[in-house]
Amino acid sequence: MKGRDAGRIHGPQLVIARHVIRRSLRWAIVWGVVFGLFVVTTVVAYVKAYPTFDARVDLARSLRPFVILLGQPWHAETVAGFATWRVLTAVAVIGAIWGLQTATGLLRGEEEEGRWELLLAGPVTRRRATVEALLGMLGAVAAMFLATLLLIFAAARLPGARFSIVGSLLFATNLVSGAAVFLAVGALTSQLSATRAQATTLAAGFLGVSFVVRAFADSQNRLQWLRWLTPLGWIEELRPLRDPQPVALAPIALLIVACMTLAVILAGVRDLHGSILGQREGRRHTTWWLVGPTTLAFYVSRATAIGWLAGVIGFSAMSGSVAQAAVSLTTTSPAITATLGRFGIRAATRGFLSFSLFLIAVLLALMAAALVDAMRQEEASGRLDNLLVQPVHRLTWLAGRLGVALGLIILGGLAAGTATWAGAVTHRTYVPLPTLLEAGLNATIPGVFVLGVGILILGLRPRWCATASYAVVAWSFLVDLLGTFVKGADWIRQSSLFTHISLAPAKKPDWDTAAIIILLGLLALVAGAVRFQRRDVAYE
């Protein structure tokens, strides 16, 4: 009898863990593959573009202006050193965004939707349920690690790579540590906050502060000690392939354990739907404006919007504020001037800002994919049924969600241009505001196209719409990087969205090409909407 009772108690716990890992596993593997492919393409591109030692030394010297964005290039004259520098910061930030969005969605988001009550209906305490949920998310991180590691092993076998087995293991750990850290941070903010929007904002704010502290630490040699005050600094200090410092894993592990332990403790202290941080009591008339599907779409998208826009604005403001410091090194380096010349860039300040806004374009494209995923989740979870049983047409709902999504993408571009200008002006870097607003709008073009492709797949194969959207971004990003370094790969680069986007403000946006891309995205969007209207509702 005791054995049977124990099994009954253990069953719901396993159900929670399986539920969580099932919800998070797909994207963990997808991003693990993307991270690994990033390493592979970087190694291939570096070896082909810089075959001699002298060329690699010149390249390593030319990387100094970009330390604020991507970190210190230790031993960048080697394949291992350059691959670590080129990949690490970008992957850590992308993984951190995935981690905080996943944790807040599966904890506070599920609680907001009322699903947590169903999980707790059995003989499971809130603390034990939280432990199971965290174990499920850690399982997803483990899958991400394995996917990344397999591709790093493949990169290690490429000519010139020479990654050791221990180094490859450390590198894979390094690449997924950003996801693991901010998964734990998101779990903690989910227990502190009253809503998912608040939890996402807190976690995104911590990510922004971590990035800024890391950037300032890399800006001057006398500030390098600041790297030990931020998770992104610990990730950079690990240096997995050349002169590794495994001691940097200690604060990473301690922060993960501390955040998850506090999350479990707080889950048992607070009431269901309660929070540690207070929320201003809403008044009865504060939701008077929720009068239809469009306003409801804006309301339910606010958590995603706050998180992404905060990241875009913070990164843009920081890029503008450090542009002058970075360019002061650029003007004294012939190697950097030659590198910028390959892209048709003559003004160093605008060149630096152009690369920053290129990263903003990638973030906005990822935001578009996330918004498509949110639409699909609303349908798959059955929440859309609550609207369709009312006199609400499918296309009315979809038009509302698309209007909000397009508005957020455009707002993100304009906010990026404005924040970049504000950051630059405060540090006496003068680029006209209209020029940077134009560059910000130029950065929205890939996002509009990704949104159109996502809606097309939503109409045709709804279960694959989010995967296809993220795949377009990942392919475009990787191919653009590979084609930049590898001669004779122009035919591959043409398949990348980012190849067809001008590096503004260093170059004038090509609005003719942009119009074609936008038109193709809108045509895909219309076709997807027509198909969405005709097909049956598809659940998970």
In DSSP notation, 500-511 reads: GS--TTTS---H
Mean pLDDT for the stretch of residues 223-227: 83
**Quick one: pLDDT at residue 288?**
54
**Quick one: pLDDT at residue 325?**
59
Distance separating alpha carbons of residues 469 and 83, to the nearest angstrom: 26
Tens digits of residue pLDDT in 310-322: 778 877 887 777 6
Cβ(458)–Cβ(528) below 8 Å = yes
Cβ(190)–Cβ(263) below 8 Å = yes
Residue owning tokens 């290039």: 73
- The two three-digit tokens of residue 188, written as one number: 């903690």
Whether the pLDDT of residue 493 is over 80: the answer is no
**Quick one: pLDDT at residue 347?**
53
**Quick one: pLDDT at residue 28?**
92
Cβ(305)–Cβ(367) below 8 Å = no
pTM: 0.74
> Percentage of the chain surpassing pLDDT 90?
24
Quick check: bond before 505 cis, omega within 30? yes
Cβ(180)–Cβ(253) below 8 Å = no
Nearest Cα residue to 416 out of 340, 343, 362: 362
Distance separating alpha carbons of residues 369 and 336, to the nearest angstrom: 34
Whether the pLDDT of residue 146 is over 90: the answer is yes
Between 463 and 323, residue with greater pLDDT:
463
**Quick one: pLDDT at residue 489?**
56
- The two three-digit tokens of residue 517, written as one number: 């891309």
Tens digits of residue pLDDT in 81-121: 888 888 888 889 889 988 988 998 888 887 877 777 666 66
Between 167 and 69, residue with greater pLDDT:
167
How many Cα atoms occupy the beta-carbon half-sphere of 244 within 13 Å?
16
Tens digits of residue pLDDT in 502-519: 888 878 888 999 999 999
457 — pLDDT class (breaks 50, 70, 90): very high
How many Cα atoms occupy the beta-carbon half-sphere of 28 within 13 Å?
27
Q: Which amino acid is at 465?
A: C
Residue owning tokens 């070896």: 47
Whether the pLDDT of residue 226 is over 60: the answer is yes
**Quick one: pLDDT at residue 447?**
93
Tens digits of residue pLDDT in 351-402: 778 878 888 898 899 889 888 888 887 777 677 776 767 676 788 888 888 8
Least confident segment among 43-47, 54-58, 122-126, 169-173: 122-126
331 — pLDDT class (breaks 50, 70, 90): very low
Distance separating alpha carbons of residues 139 and 155, to the nearest angstrom: 24
**Quick one: pLDDT at residue 268?**
83
**Quick one: pLDDT at residue 262?**
94
Residue owning tokens 């988001």: 109
Whether the pLDDT of residue 344 is over 50: the answer is no
Nearest Cα residue to 141 out of 179, 167, 112: 179
Residue owning tokens 């929070």: 275
Mean pLDDT for the stretch of residues 484-501: 70
Cβ burial of 329 (10 Å; 0-12, 13-18, 19+) is middle
CA 71, 75, 77, 78 torsion: positive or negative? negative
Distance separating alpha carbons of residues 89 and 167, to the nearest angstrom: 18
Whether the pLDDT of residue 4 is over 50: the answer is no
Give Cα separations from 57 to 61, 79, 162, 337, 384 (angstroms): 6, 11, 18, 15, 57
Distance separating alpha carbons of residues 330 and 402, to the nearest angstrom: 42
Between 272 and 377, residue with greater pLDDT:
377
**Maximum average pLDDT range among 4-13, 151-160, 393-402:** 151-160
Give Cα separations from 228 to 221, 224, 237, 238, 373 (angstroms): 14, 8, 8, 11, 36
Distance separating alpha carbons of residues 212 and 248, to the nearest angstrom: 19
**Quick one: pLDDT at residue 176?**
95
Cβ(405)–Cβ(469) below 8 Å = no
Mean pLDDT of the chain: 80
Residue owning tokens 């993960």: 256
Cβ burial of 386 (10 Å; 0-12, 13-18, 19+) is exposed
**Quick one: pLDDT at residue 332?**
47
**Quick one: pLDDT at residue 149?**
95
- The two three-digit tokens of residue 175, written as one number: 């690449």
- The two three-digit tokens of residue 510, written as one number: 């090509």
Write b or e for each residue in 442-457: b if 16 or more Cβ atoms lie within 10 A of its Cβ, otherwise e.
bbbbbbbbbbbbbbbb
Mean pLDDT for the stretch of residues 481-505: 71
> Percentage of the chain surpassing pLDDT 70?
80
Distance separating alpha carbons of residues 535 and 298, to the nearest angstrom: 25
* Contacts with 509 (C-beta within 8 Å, 6 or more apart), sequence order: 438, 439, 441, 442, 501, 502
Mean pLDDT for the stretch of residues 158-184: 91
Distance separating alpha carbons of residues 62 and 218, to the nearest angstrom: 15
**Quick one: pLDDT at residue 343?**
47
Whether the pLDDT of residue 3 is over 80: the answer is no
Residue owning tokens 């403790």: 265
Mean pLDDT for the stretch of residues 125-153: 92
Mean pLDDT for the stretch of residues 130-136: 91
Cβ(269)–Cβ(376) below 8 Å = no
Cβ(366)–Cβ(299) below 8 Å = no
**Quick one: pLDDT at residue 1?**
37
How many Cα atoms occupy the beta-carbon half-sphere of 163 within 13 Å?
31
Distance separating alpha carbons of residues 301 and 314, to the nearest angstrom: 20
Residue owning tokens 């901010």: 182
Cβ(485)–Cβ(403) below 8 Å = no
Nearest Cα residue to 505 out of 426, 367, 428, 413: 413
**Quick one: pLDDT at residue 136?**
93
- The two three-digit tokens of residue 136, written as one number: 């499920």
2 — pLDDT class (breaks 50, 70, 90): very low
**Quick one: pLDDT at residue 9?**
40
First and final CA of the chain: distance in angstroms?
37
Least confident segment among 291-295, 332-336, 450-454, 472-476: 332-336
- How long is the chain? 540
Mean pLDDT for the stretch of residues 320-326: 66
**Quick one: pLDDT at residue 119?**
67
**Maximum average pLDDT range among 47-56, 237-246, 326-335, 447-456:** 447-456
Helices (H) and strands (E) in the chain, counts: 22, 0
